[in-house]
Structure 1
Amino acid sequence: MYLSPHVYIDFDGTISLTDTTDLLLQHFAAPEWQEIEAAWERGEIGSQECMIRQISLLNVSPNELDCWLETIPLDPAFSSFVRFCEQLGFPVTIVSDGLDRTIKTALRRLGLTLPVVANHLEWLGETKWKLGFPFAREGCRSLAGHCKCSSMAETHGRRVLIGDGRSDFCAAERADIVFAKGKLLAHCRATGLQHLPYATFSDLQPTFMRWIADLEATQLRSQLSLTQKDKDHHHAD
């Protein structure tokens, strides 16, 4: 039997149907956040600097924020995909360059308990917030708040990445297989990274099942080949 794959799943635009940080800023931040976003889009600043500056513009109480987070639209098939992975014994980790508070609220809504590796949203009192980066890495190629490739590097065995955006580019190079949509799909096609396209978790699950079946078949063929070589060696003796 092969070593169980570790499944890493992005949050914004993958589990959530939109970029939740952008939605949050639209609702609760001063309008200057859009100028900062444009600078990031042009590649003038990294995502870490972008988000530090944007989060400092938030003006919302914790209670109001948490109530709003309950309304974020999520992929309706995500929960069943996680439970499918759990039945197979595949560990699942959420890896995001977004906000831990957003992700943990979403998981609570779904009744799921999963490891979350993301940037830390810290309340400063009243309606002010700041962003912390417990999973940043100096020298990160993507200048991200959370270096996903470092998080994935700690895994032994096969790595599966499910994502959609720029923060997944570096991590995709560490994965054995990438399930991709959006900008990540275009990146995989342009760079020749092994990938399978998907649109939602409902169509991803059967594709994932086929990949697992192929993995098992490859492993079985490898074992049979080794057994045959061992037999041939004994006959030669």
Structure 2
Amino acid sequence: MLPRMTIMLDFDGTITRQDTTDLILESFAHPSWRDVEQDWESGRIGSMECMRRQVALIRASAAELDAFADQIAVDPHFPDLAHQCRARGIPLTIVSDGLDRVIMRVLARYDLRLPVRANRLVALSGGHWSLAFPNAASECGAGTCKCGLALAESEAVVLIGDGRSDFCVAETAQIVFAKSKLADHCRRNGISYLPFETLGDVAQWLTHAPVRTLKNGAVP
């Protein structure tokens, strides 16, 4: 049997094909959002401040955002992974530094009900938006502190991710599935990880894996 575990699943670039926040900003935000992005990439601001400033530049109705979210391309294996986790009693939580409204629209598309930990998109008047951070931590610059959420878990954490918001939790998760920037980070820092291209690879691992080597010494 697999050890007792909980899965933390990233959203942007992992469940979806692309970063949905960037797609929304490209379509609905003032072009100065790219200047804010450069400040974040250079390390001058954290992701929370970056997201706060960028979301304030969006001008779109709720209907426009929802219609846009309904067209976002999703990994076709995502529903299968979710159903497999449910059938096997493995807790699966979407943990994202992105936008909860977009995530909920994608879940509704597949009639899935999963726990979501993400930044809360708040509608204001006149097509303006703001962002709330229910999963932030004072010592963390991210809007959603994935490290804090992982440390609060009593079971082995399996991380599935692709980007910078997953870097910190990759250092403490027992099993890491990584691609793209997260895979590069793991290689540079000597973090053990399992490469994946689609969530079908993860679903296959769950189907066939006995107890695998964990960082804290489980027997393969």
**TM-score scaled by structure 1?**
0.87
DSSP-derived class of the 2:16 partner: coil
Measured in 2, the distance between the counterparts of 1:209 and 1:135 equals 31
* Corresponding residue of 2:133: 133
Q: Who is 2:211 aligned against?
A: 214
- In 2, distance between residues paired with 1:33 and 1:120? 19
Deviation at 1:208, TM superposition (A): 3.8
Deviation of residue 3 (structure 1)? 4.8
Q: Distance in 2 between matches of 1:82 and 1:149?
A: 22
1:123-173 deviations in Å (ceiling 9; x for gaps): 012200001111100111xx1111001111111121100000000011112
Match of 1:75 in 2: 75
Question: Between the two proteins, what is the percent identity of the paired residues?
Answer: 47
Matched, 1:17 2:35: no
Structure 1 gaps of 5+ residues are 223-237
Equivalent-residue separation in structure 1 for 2:198 and 2:119 (angstroms)? 25
Deviation at 1:209, TM superposition (A): 3.5
Deviations 1:57-99 (A, max 9, x none): 0000111111111101100011001111111110000000000
Structure 1 Cα separation of the partners of residues 88 and 158 of structure 2: 14
Question: After the TM superposition, which parts of structure 1 deviate over 6 Å for at least 4 consecutive aligned residues?
Answer: none
Structure 2 counterparts to residues 74-223 of structure 1, below 5 A: 74-140=74-140, 143-210=141-208, 212-215=209-212
1:29-64 CA distance string (max 9 Å, x none): 010001111111111111111111100000001111
- Count of aligned pairs: 215
State the alpha-carbon separation in 2 of the partners of residues 120 and 170 from structure 1: 22
Residue ranges of structure 2 left out of the alignment (5+ in a row): none
- Report the equivalent of 2:59: 59
Which digits, 9 at most, give the CA deviation of each residue in 1:2-23, with x for residues without a partner? Answer: 6521011000000010000000
After superposition, the Cα gap between the structure-2 partners of 1:148 and 1:91, relative to the gap in structure 1 and judged at 3 Å, is: same
CA RMSD across the alignment: 1.6
Secondary structure of 2:159's counterpart equals strand
The one-letter code sitting in structure 1 at the alignment partner of 2:167 is F
CA contact under 8 A between 1:5 and 1:158: conserved in structure 2?
yes
Decide whether the 8 Å contact of 2:3 with 2:211 is kept in 1.
no
